[in-house]
Structure 1
Amino acid sequence: MDQLYSSLFIMVLGVAGCVFYFFGSNIVLNLIFPTRGVSNMQMAKNIRRAASVRPWLFLGPALSFLGLYLVYPVFDSFMLSLSDRAGEDFVGLKNYVWLVNDREFRESLFNNLMWLLVVPAASTFFGLIIAAMTDKISWGNIAKSLIFMPMAISFIGASIIWKFVYDFRAEGSEQIGILNALVEYFGGTPEAWITIPFWNNFFLMVILVWIQTGFAMVILSAALRGIPEETVEAAVLDGANGIQIFFKILIPQIWGTIAVVWTTITITVLKVFDIVLAMTNGQWDTQVLANMMFDWMFRGGGDFGRGAAIAVVIMVAVIPVMVWNIRQANAQMEGR
């Protein structure tokens, strides 16, 4: 109960602080640029000045926190990547040279590339198919709710669920893992699925596809509903069948949305960490960049230089995708 009371107190304090800042900043602004007791010309000038200052006054705290918790750590991480294990002495590009020559880094990079090829494509594809199918059935909203539900689960929670799916017990023992129980039921031999090199990466990818398909479905369903009915009706009158309408009429009209969904999931994949940590901790050739960064930064005494170098690599990989995603979203909002 103490934690609950503390949380409620912090929430009330935060809301009260925001209200106080809102009204207090307006009062101060009115004192600096008064609109009473001055000439009409001066009053007009003060109104314009106050109007130009007020947005920055309200944005100020948010920009300050962004600078403190987002911009500053980027520069600090880059400086750390040029430092030694303790983050004190300058070593130049030594950590990046180590990365290029490190076998585990190359393995992580290869695994991340596999995740990038499979997860965004599979999630977007299944999301699109499900969105199109559920819009045509009476119980479509119920189906969407069930498919979207994994989005409400944390990555760690989802990983624990799938650990039970992939669970392995020695042959002859009762299998509690769904997958091995099915394999045994059909006469097969149970396997420790997440320990099989190369293929275990795909078993881990299934978890993220399961989570992200709901996100893709919701966004693409909204896009499909925004397509003018006239274009579909015209295609029907011209003799187009369902498959032709889907691939030649519907998809071209929501291609921008598909691209945004794809790149959004791509950014998530580049930062994938929780699933690998919970399922394998990078063992059995499943290491990825974010988990490798965590290992070097916080385990075995920590190596701030090497951990920061891996973080910089992840950031550099994310930036182009993020910029393209923002441009696509802006273009779509402007109707281009």
Structure 2
Amino acid sequence: MIIVMKTGAPESQIREVIQRVEALGYQAHVIQGTQRTVIGAIGDERSKDRLQSLELMAGVETVLPILQPFKLASREVKGGKSVVKVGDLEIGGQAVVVMAGPCSVESEAQMLQTAQAVKAAGAKVLRGGAFKPRTSPYAFQGMAEEGLKLLDVARSATGLKIVTEVVNPADAELVAEYADILQIGARNVQNFALLKRVGEVGKPVLLKRGIATTIKEYLMAAEYILAEGNYNVILCERGIRTFETSTRFTLDLNAIPVLSKLTHLPVFVDPSHGTGHWEYVSPMAKAAIACGADGLIIEVHPNPEEAQSDGLQSLKLEKFQQLMDELRPVAEAVGRRL
């Protein structure tokens, strides 16, 4: 259920409603809108009728049921779009935000060169994997904390924000010490212990869709993070597994308008993993912005042929600059800016 407070309801009335919600055995999640406050009451739905009596409390306008199973992620709880703030950077607003960088952190020189190039091209966030979940146990697994330190060096040199992946609940605090945004990869979209942990840590989270995850399952995964009180969640469509073998995955651009209809959370697209080949990244990036994506995450490497992972889908620095130049008029055509 959601309790919609009257416009201008004082803080004392909001506190009284929160106390009553908790006394009835529910978790209270406060969502501040531009004009009014909404309180989500999350808990056992079998006794939700007791919440209806809250309409009699001072300052309450109405009490409404949330029909979707993903309560806090639903548009029902917040009609407008959420804007995730990462320091002075706003994600989900009018500007399309681009995150770019290599799949894996490999060296200081690699990270500095890439960071300076992607910043010059217009990217706002540097991506790079310090911990890498790989299909093969013998593949490069990342540089761990040393990789995090190299990301920090690149941030200090350029001012870019950092997004990097967490693969183990035990590492969440460590990664949060360095990262501005914690990434949950496709393999971990239903690792519920990890979702809860990053929710508890409280840093903004980039949650990638799994390769066989339905939209409903995906939003329920986001709900795990939101239910821990962390409302700074960014969704990311990165391709799903189908019968097609000519690309690494099938980039599900349908998901962008569907998610935008169902949830208030910002929606990103990863055309690098979605296609698996650098030649297809540019057209799919443009298509993603054209159909409403709030941002992109793109793999970029100074020497893709030498990359420890995903070199085939990584853009060279000059190709990334070209892509950013081509994205600007697309963004403007749909009322956005880069």
- The structure whose residues are more often helix, as a share, is 1
Query: Whose RCO is larger (CA < 8 A, sep 6+)?
Result: 1
Q: Shorter chain as normaliser: what TM range?
A: under 0.3
- The structure whose residues are more often strand, as a share, is 2
| The structure with more radius of gyration | 1
Normalising by the residue count of structure 2, what TM-score does the alignment of the two structures yield?
0.21
